[in-house]
């Protein structure tokens, strides 16, 4: 059964900040981490 997830502005900002931090070492890994987290929602 599919669930609807409504992201708050703060949650989106947190994901962006996490991705930016990871991207300092690897932009590809940052993109994959964000994609994996969004996929599991």
Range 6-24 burial, b when 16+ CB lie within 10 A, else e: eeeeeeeeeeeeebeebee
Residues 1-39: tens digit of each pLDDT: 778 888 899 998 998 999 999 999 999 999 998 888 776
Q: What is the pTM of this model?
A: 0.71
Segments in 1-41 forming alpha helices (H): 9-23, 27-39
């Amino acid at each position: 059964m599919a669930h609807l997830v409504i992201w708050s502005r703060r949650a989106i900002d947190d994901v962006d900040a996490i991705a930016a931090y990871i991207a300092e070492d690897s932009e590809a890994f940052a993109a994959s981490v964000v994609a994996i987290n969004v996929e599991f929602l």
